Structure formats: structure tokens, C-alpha cells
Structure 1
């Protein structure tokens, strides 16, 4: 399955973020494109989660970044988006993330709308939530 919405995250330490996302949350590297002049700068990385993709890149002073007024969590003073991923075993996933250094700030807990979930911050403050609740399973329309 191909998904047409691909979150894109900027990191001050993109190589470290990629390692963390793979070790803590279970992403896999699909492609990593380094800057030709500086191997510590990630121009573009593709990480996969099952049949989903996340793009990661280093903070770069590009025309796009300036025009869009792009900010990291630190520059913005807090997260501006949260990402939710469905997992089968919430508690095992939270244990893995905690062992890899994730800041688990909520849960795992049973949710009033169904399922079980937890929320964590990555080393640069992006908010990630993982749960067994599958919003695709119900429409919520009455």
C-alpha cells in the first residue's frame, strides 16, 4: 500500500534522531542521503514503519525552510504536532522505547474511547503516541 501523506521532521541532530527512532520506536532505514560536503548533515532520509513512511532531515537554511518559517520543537518553544502510530502490544513497545531513552510522559493507559496507549518525547522534544486504538476501524459518524 502506498500512503500519500508523509510526515517530515527536522532535527538538529538528524543522524542521532534516525538512530533513536529506529532503536526506540522500531522504524527502519529505507534511504539516507547525506550532504556531499558534511556527512553529519542529512539532506533527506526515508524511514519506514510497516507500510508507512516518515521523512527526516537536518536543519538546513534553505529557501523552502525560510519561506515556510520552519522551526524545530526547541525553536518553536514546544511541539507543534503529535504523531500517532498503531501498535499491537502497547506495553512491550513502551518498554522498548523506555529502554532506548524515550521520555514516556503518559501511560501506557487504557483510553476511554477504546484501546490502550502511551505517549513519549524523542530526544529533541517531538511528541509520539502509540496505541492499539485503530481510528480506521470505526467512522465515529452517528
Structure 2
């Protein structure tokens, strides 16, 4: 029961035309864990939640003119979801597992200047998911030197 009540933090809510299929696929492809499913009187998905580590993603249907699946709006995304794997996890194997489950791999796994190895995938309805794992702690001073960027805390 305590898993249903989260501490202060962020969660994402993602809309699908077929949220039941998405719920099952996200578990299979990305390893998200089912947390909660609420069905209405016709067994339609009214609300659902999945967890990954200490984070939660809500999977739902298109419930208003402002809550749409990318599939309904020419594949456009107004946000993407970043998922951080635990240190030591094999992100290349995670990517291959997602690919075999039907994810479109938009960016193959590659090591970034800030020390994470990442890949980017699109699901069947067009949501973009980025996965990363820290492989080396580089730090802002080193990545600024390598890229010419300037890292600060505030604008």
C-alpha cells in the first residue's frame, strides 16, 4: 500500500490511443513494473501507474483535446521521458531488448561527454524515451573543457 503514495518528486503521465497495449508493452520492452491499474465499469483503463526504480510513469488514454498520443498529432512530442538505469546495468542489452520488443531505436547507444551512455527509442504510438546509465563521473569542468560549453547552476 505504501508504494501507492509517493514522496515529493516528479512523475510523467503519457497518453495512448491503446493504453492497455502500451502498459503491457512498456513492461515487456523497457522493464517498467506494474504498480496500479484502475478499470472502469466496461473494463476500459481509467488510470494506471508503472514504476522504474523510485520513479512512476502514469499510462492513460486520450482524455481531452489537450491530452493526445503522438500518433494522433502527426507523431509530434511536446516532451520526452528520460529513464536512468542503475550504475552497472548493461544499456546495450537494454537497447537490444527494447528493439526486439518492437521499439524504433532512434539513436544507438553512445557515450556522451558528460559520462553517461545513452540511447533513444520511439514506441509504437510515437512517444520518445531516452535511456541512460552513468559509466564515468566526468564533472562540469571536464565537459566544459571538452565541449566549449559553460555549465552553471543559475542563469
> RCO (CA 8 Å, sep 6+): is it higher in 1 or 2?
1
| Pairing partner for 2:56 from 49, 53, 56 | 53
Q: Is 2:24 aligned against 1:26?
A: no
Deviation at 1:5, TM superposition (A): 1.3
Question: Does the Cα contact within 8 Å between 1:2 and 1:51 map onto a contact in 2?
Answer: no
Report the equivalent of 1:85. 83
Report the equivalent of 1:105. 106
How many residues are treated as equivalent by the alignment?
132
Report the equivalent of 2:147. none
Q: Secondary structure at the match of 1:132?
A: strand
Report the equivalent of 2:71. 74
Report the equivalent of 1:11. 16
Deviation at 1:138, TM superposition (A): 5.9
- Output one character per residue of 1:15-42: Cα deviation in whole Å (capped at 9) or x when no partner: 11001100000101111111212x2x21
Deviation at 1:3, TM superposition (A): 4.5
Per the normalisation by structure 1, the TM-score is: 0.83
Q: Which runs of 5+ in 1 are unaligned?
A: none
Question: Does the Cα contact within 8 Å between 1:24 and 1:97 map onto a contact in 2?
Answer: yes
Q: Which runs of 5+ in 2 are unaligned?
A: 1-5, 141-150
Question: Does the Cα contact within 8 Å between 2:16 and 2:68 map onto a contact in 1?
Answer: no
Instruction: Return closer, same or farther for 1:32/1:105 CA change in 2, 3 Å cut-off.
Output: same
Q: Secondary structure at the match of 2:22?
A: helix
Per the normalisation by structure 2, the TM-score is: 0.76
- Higher-Rg member (1/2): 2
